[in-house]
Amino acid sequence: MTTLRPDPLTTSTFRERARAQLAKPFLREAVPKATDHAVAALRTRFADHDYEALRELGRAIRAEAIADLDRHLADLEQALVANGVRVHHAADAGAARDLIRGIVRDAGGRTVVKVKSMATEEIDLNPALAADGVRVVETDLGEYVVQLDGDRPSHIIAPIIHKTRGEVRESLSRAVGRELPDDAAALTGVARAQLRDAFMEADVGISGANFGVADTGTICLVTNEGNGRMCTSLPRVHIALMGVERVVPRMTDLAVLLPLLTGAGTGQLVTSYVNLLSGPRRPGEPDGPEEMHVVLLDNGRRALRGTPYEEVLHCIRCGACQNVCPVYRQVGGHAYGWVYGGPIGAVLTPLFRGQRDGGELSQATSLCGACDDVCPVKIPLHDLLLSLRRDRAAAGVAPRGERIAARLWSWAWAHPATYRLSVRLARAASLPARHPAVARRLPLAGRWAAGRTLPRPARRPYHRRLR
Amino acid sequence: MTAAPDPALLARIAPTELRPGEDPVTRFVREARLVQTAVEVTTRDRLAAAVTEALRAEGARRVAVAADLAPLRYEMAARLREAGIEAVRYEDVAPDRDAVRDLDATVTGCMAAVAATGSIVTGGAAGRGGALVAPVHVCVVERSRLFDGLLALLRALPDLGAASAIALQTGPSRTADIEKTLILGMHGPKAVHVVVVVDAPATPAP
């Protein structure tokens, strides 16, 4: 895969990135605070409703969509075309970039306004358009700040969760060339005015898609700020980039999936704007784009069907697994090194970017299962992470020391004598190793033991008591 | 193979549905107010006055009125002018981006509304921008267009008339991107007024 921006995944390790993030005191305060807010909101939202039963319905709908993906995609395409939408197919990121660049070029597009979209992050769209001389403006407030800073979003739905108000003030002050007050309302007002100008000038609006509804040929786009509707109302051309897995069979499925998406994502009943877009402007309508294009992005998705990882295609990108993940809450999204962070990122990155670059992310988890418990469509994320660890071992891409240690351990525990010896050694070491200074110096297990309080060993080991 | 969700089951498990026996207007008003929508329940003879008052309270002087208010639209525009508010047709200003920018408020009807979520459904003759582009939006909701919950709305969409784009709008435009501080009016309106008309419908029910 070619990326046009520096690629942290190939130039650094998770450990290095995590350490850099942990050195930022605000991050360790802000991310747990913001994610606690989201988790509490989710609990409140479903306090007197059966979240479990709704999740089960959501899981069944997503499973149905993915099990017969090609048929639903064919239905979606047919319905979109009947609605006057032009449908394009992109096998990979490069193809998607070229398709979108072509549409923008044909439209004579000079200014593009964008709705926040993880799929466009995945294909690194903005630098490609900029290289063509097109001005690209992200219109979600958080994404706009990320763009001003040449940064990347660090959360699926809260892109600047890692930034302080002071940092946002600095970025916006630089953009408008004057010192702005340290006040969220004032900063938002300035961003609104800047972005209003962009909306008025834009020729093309580019969005992602939360869902593609097959039976009606509709792209569903969920926002709170209203930028989704602005980007799809004012410019002459609208392009939606949709991961092929986002298809759902029926419009009525949204009665299940929308409350799951917004409930798990922000704790809202519904977001402020749920846009249902079914084609370009029609006769009798006062506004809307003359052309609507949908680009269906594969980029490794179809290949996951029939593998142990098929269920990752059920994901509706709500961000809830990030909010509850003890690793994400400490290190934030950038430590993961690619587009998606948290448990879903730890699964998607090795699958999309390969074991060599992304494999170590399957270690960036405590396997506590909090992500499984919160996922609105019940993806068994921690099983998938375990499975990715097995694949990583099989692929032989782990560091040499780790591989040798694992092989020794595996051999030792397969033989009774060496097993007992290892238990005796562990017993002897575990009492003094309860002291952190000793723990750090343990052979082989030093790193592992340093961050843990080791249990006090039993007086008589269990296997001896059984005799 | 699953089928479309069962309404009775969904009503028990989804917060976006009405509980059995719950009054739709009461629920709509409560949910809309929870998300900072100003709501007034009124009758047809008081409608124009209620819209005028909402616009006055927001200090709106230049207002676009959308086509989906027909046949009330001309009566409404006349009343607004009497109150000293300049009223234009939304479809006349829509193509001119500077004119759109100068609007203080828009007044629209709606295709539907959803009781359980406090949402209004806009689009069609009001366009995509009719309920979005000005800092203030006033929306007239006929009682007959109020659906119980999200599922009932989605099932009825094919009967609401062909629109290239519709939006469920729930409260004003909002963001909490800066340190989770809630700010209204990010891109769309920062104030939304909904006037619910509870007596005989002026336009055919969906």
Q: Which residues of A2-22 are buried (b: 16+ CB within 10 A; e: fewer)?
A: eeeeebbbeebebeebbeebe
In this prediction, residue B205 carries a pLDDT of 47
Above pLDDT 90, what percent of chain A?
Answer: 75
Least confident range from A179-183, A289-293, A390-394, B14-18: namely A390-394
A328-377 pLDDT, tens per residue? 999 999 999 999 999 999 999 999 999 999 999 999 999 999 999 999 99
Q: What's the pLDDT score for residue B174? A: 95
Minimum CA–CA partner of B175 in chain A: A225
Of residues A186 and A44, the one with the higher pLDDT is: A186
Nearest to B127 among A54, A188, A288 (CB): A288
Beta bridge partners of A88: A295
* C-alpha distance from B192 to closest chain A C-alpha (Å): 11
User: Which ipTM did the prediction report?
Assistant: 0.95
CA separation for the pair A229, B128 (Å, rounded): 7
Spatial CA neighbour of B80 closest among B127, B124, B138:
B138
Q: How far is B147 from chain A (nearest CA, A)?
A: 13
Q: Do B165 and A288 touch (CB under 8 A)?
A: yes
User: What is the CB neighbour count within 10 angstroms for residue B80?
Assistant: 22
The answer to whether the CB atoms of B117 and A269 lie below 8 A apart is yes
B19/A contact by beta carbon, under 8 A: no
Inter-chain residue contact B16 with A288, CB threshold 8 Å: no
Dist. CA A221–CA A228, nearest whole Å: 7
Using the Cβ of B157 and the Cβ atoms of chain A, whether some distance falls under 8 Å is answered with yes
The verdict on a CB contact (< 8 Å) between B178 and A188 is yes
Residue pairs between chains A and B whose CB atoms are closer than 8 Å: 224
Which chain A residues have a beta carbon less than 8 Å from that of B133? 230, 233
| Helix (H/G/I), strand (E/B), else coil: A273 | strand
Q: Give chain B positions within 8 Å (CB) of A273.
A: 167-170, 173, 188
In angstroms, the CA A153 to CA A141 distance is 11
- Would an 8 Å CB–CB cutoff place B168 in contact with chain A? yes
pTM of the model: 0.93
Q: In chain A, count of helices (H) and strands (E)?
A: 24, 10
Strand order in the sheet with A218-223: A247-248, A211-213, A218-223, A273-277, B165-169, B119-123, B112-114, B146-147
Give the one of A160, A256, A284 whose C-beta lies nearest to B177's C-beta: A160
**Averaged pLDDT for residues A417-441:** 81
B111 vs chain A: nearest CA distance in angstroms?
13
- Would the CB atoms of A288 and B188 count as touching at under 8 Å? no
> Mean pLDDT throughout B109-119?
97
Closest-CA residue in chain A for B156? A252
Strands B105-108 and A291-297, bridge-based pairing = unpaired
Q: Which residues in chain B are contacts of A145 at CB distance < 8 A? A: 177
Note the pLDDT of residue B180: 86
Asked whether the predicted pLDDT for residue A161 surpasses 80, the reply is yes
- State percent of chain A over pLDDT 70: 98
Q: Which of A269, A271, A282, A292 should be substituted to probe chain B, the one whose Cβ sees the most B Cβ atoms within 10 Å?
A: A269
pLDDT at residue B1 in the model: 44
Reported confidence tier of residue B203, pLDDT bands at 50, 70, 90: low
Partners of B170 on chain A (C-beta within 8 Å) are 269-274
pLDDT of A422? 83
Q: What are the DSSP E strand ranges found in A126-246?
A: 135-138, 204-207, 211-213, 218-223, 237-243
Mind listing the pLDDT tens digit for each residue in B3-24? 778 999 999 899 999 998 999 9
Please give the structure tokens belonging to residue A459: 């007086």
Q: Name all contacts of B22-29 with Cβ < 8 Å and 24+ positions apart.
A: B22/B115, B24/B115, B24/B146, B24/B148, B25/B115, B25/B143, B25/B146, B25/B196, B25/B198, B27/B115, B27/B116, B27/B118, B28/B113, B28/B114, B28/B115, B28/B118, B28/B141, B28/B146, B28/B196, B29/B118, B29/B196
Average of per-residue pLDDT across A169-185: 95
* Mean of per-residue pLDDT scores for chain A: 92
Q: Do strands B165-169 and A273-277 pair parallel, antiparallel, or not at all (unpaired)?
A: antiparallel
Average pLDDT score over chain B: 92
Q: Which of B100, B175, B180 sits opposite A224 (nearest CB)?
A: B175
How high is the pLDDT of residue B4? 78
Q: What is the pLDDT of residues B18-76, one digit of tens each?
A: 998 999 999 999 999 999 999 999 999 999 999 999 999 999 999 999 999 988 899 89
Put simply, whether B169 touches A (Cβ < 8 Å) is: yes
For residues A122 and A425, which has the higher predicted lDDT (pLDDT)? A122
Please check whether residue B127 touches A, CB under 8 A. yes
Confidence of residue B200 (pLDDT cuts 50, 70, 90): low
Rg, Å, chain B Cα set: 17
Which tokens in the block code for residue A336? 């993961």
Identity of the residue in A54, A259, A272 whose CB atom sits nearest the CB atom of B169? A272
pLDDT tens digit sequence for A202-242? 999 999 999 999 999 999 999 999 999 999 999 999 999 99
Are the Cβ atoms of B173 and A224 closer than 8 angstroms?
yes
Percentage of chain B exceeding pLDDT 70: 96
pLDDT confidence of residue A42 = 83
Whether residue A270 and residue B117 make contact (CB cut-off 8 A), yes or no, is yes
Q: What is the mean pLDDT of residues B137-152?
A: 97
Q: What is the mean predicted confidence (pLDDT) over A47-54?
A: 90
Check B169 against A45: CB less than 8 A apart.
Answer: no
